[in-house]
Structure 1
Amino acid sequence: MQVTETLNEGLKRGYEIVVTADELDQKVHEKLVEAQPEVEMKGFRKGKVPLALLKKQFGERLLGEAMQETVDQAMSDHFEQTGDRPAAQPDVKMKNEDWKAGDDVHVELNYEALPDVPEVDFSGISLERMAVKADEAAVDEALQNLAENAQDFEDREEGAAAEDGDQVVIDFTGKLDGEAFEGGAAEDYPLTLGAGAFIPGFEEQLVGVKAGDEIEVKVTFPEDYGAEHLAGKEVTFDVTVKAVKAPKAAEIDDELAKKFGAEDLESLKGQIRERLEAEYNGAARQVVKRKLLDQLDEQVDFPLPPGLVDSEAKQIAHQLWHEENPDVQGHDHPEIEPTDEHRKLAERRVKLGLLLAELGQRAEVEVTDSEMTQAVMQQARQYPGQERQFFEFVQQNPQMQQQLRAPIFEDKVVDYILERAEVTEKEVSKDELQEAVDALEEE
Structure 2
Amino acid sequence: MKYEILKKENSEVTIKVTVAAEEFDKAVLAVYNKDKGKFNIPGFRKGKAPKTIIEKQYGEGVFYEDAVNSLLQLHYEKALDELSIEPVARPDIDIEEVAAKSNLVFTAVVTVAPEFELEGYKGIEVEKINAEVTDEMIDAEIEKTRNMNARLVSVTDRPVQNDDTVIIDYKGFVGEHQFDGGTADDQELVIGSGKFIPGFEEQLVGAKIGDHVDVKVTFPEVYHSDELAGKDAVFHVTVKDIKFKELPELDDEFAKDVSEFDTLDAYKASLKAELEVSSAESAKAAQRDKVIDKVTELITVEIPEKMIETEVDGMLKEFNQQLQQQGLSLDQYVQFTGGTFDALKEQMKPDALARVKTSLVIEKVMNQESIEVTDEDVEVELTKIAEMQKRDLEEIRNLFKQDNFEYLKSNLKSRKTVDFLVDNAKLI
- TM-score of the two chains, using structure 2 as the length reference: 0.52
What is the alpha-carbon distance in structure 2 between the residues aligned to residue 25 and residue 250 of structure 1? 82
1:206-259 Cα shifts (integer Å, max 9, x gaps): 3xx6xxxx86432348799xxxxxx956546487x9xx9987642223432354
Correspondence 1:84 to 2:89: no
Q: How does 1:36-435 map to 2 (within 5 A)?
A: 53=50, 56-57=53-54, 61-96=62-97, 99-115=98-114, 130=129, 132-136=131-135, 138-144=137-143, 146-147=145-146, 150-151=149-150, 164=161, 200=201, 203-206=204-207, 216-220=211-215, 235=236, 237=238, 249-260=247-258, 262-264=260-262, 265=264, 266-267=266-267, 269-271=269-271, 273-275=273-275, 277-279=277-279, 281-295=281-295, 297-298=297-298, 306-308=304-306, 329-330=339-340, 350-356=356-362, 415-421=415-421, 423=423
Measured after TM superposition, the shift of residue 93 of structure 1 is 0.8
| Aligned partners of 1:127 and 1:288 also within 8 Å | no
Aligned to 1:13: 13
Q: Take 2:170 and 2:16, find their aligned partners in 1: how far apart are those partners?
A: 76
Q: Which has the larger radius of gyration?
A: 1
- Residues of 2 paired with 1:8 and 1:168: CA distance? 65
* Counterpart-to-counterpart distance in 1, 2:80 and 2:166: 75
Contact 2:124 2:424 in 1 (8 A): no
State the shift of 1:356 in Å.
Answer: 3.0
| Residues 101/216 of structure 1: CA separation in 2 closer, same or farther (3 Å cut) | same
Q: Contact between 1:129 and 1:284, CA under 8 Å: does it hold in 2?
A: no
* Change in CA separation of 1:139 and 1:17 when aligned onto 2, cut-off 3 Å: closer
- Larger CA deviation: 356-365 vs 346-355: 356-365
Partner of 2:321: none
Q: Deviations over 1:355-379 (max 9, x none)?
A: 33577898689999xx9xxxxxxxx
Q: Summarize deviations over 1:255-307 as a string: whole Å, max 9, x none.
A: 32354354544246414541464145314522342124423653x78x66644
Please say which of residues 56-65 and 86-95 is displaced more in the overlay: 56-65
Residue 79 of structure 1, CA deviation: 0.9
Whole-Å separation in 1 of the counterparts to 2:171 and 2:5: 80
SS in 2 for 1:205: coil
Residue deviations 1:154-193 (CA, integer Å, cap 9, x gap): 999xx975583697999x99899xxxxx98579xx9x987
Contact 1:150–1:250 (CA<8 Å) still a contact in 2? yes
**Residue type at the aligned position of 1:93:** D
Q: Which whole-Å CA distance do the structure 2 matches of 1:254 and 1:351 have between them? A: 52
For 2:113 and 2:133, the matched residues in 1 are separated by 46
* Backbone CA RMSD of aligned residues: 6.4
Aligned equivalents of 1:297, 1:167: Cα separation in 2: 47
Instruction: Give the secondary-structure state (helix, strand or coil) at the position aligned to 1:16.
Output: strand
Task: Give the distance between the partners of 1:61 and 1:95, measured in 2 at CA.
Answer: 18
Is contact 1:13-1:110 (8 Å) kept?
yes
User: Structure 2 CA distance, aligned partners of 1:5 and 1:269?
Assistant: 68
Distance in 2 of aligned mates of 1:351 and 1:185: 51
Unaligned runs of 5+ in 1: 177-181, 225-230, 316-326, 337-341, 372-407, 428-435, 437-443
SS at match of 2:206: helix
Q: CA deviation at 1:92?
A: 1.1
Q: CA–CA distance in 1 between the matches of 2:423 and 2:409? A: 21
Q: Report the 3-state secondary structure (helix = DSSP H, G, I; strand = E; otherwise coil) of the residue aligned with 1:85.
A: coil
Secondary structure, in 3 states, of the residue corresponding to 2:90?
A: coil
- Distance in 1 of aligned mates of 2:366 and 2:30: 42
Give % identity.
15
| Shift of residue 72, structure 1, vs aligned partner | 2.8
Residue 139 of structure 1 contacts residue 269 of structure 1 at CA under 8 Å; is this kept in 2? no
Q: Distance in 1 between matches of 2:14 and 2:171?
A: 74
Q: Secondary structure at the match of 1:3?
A: strand
Code of the aligned partner of 2:17: I
User: 2:243, 2:75 → 1: CA distance?
Assistant: 80
- Return the offset for 1:91: 1.5
Q: CA deviation at 1:85?
A: 0.9
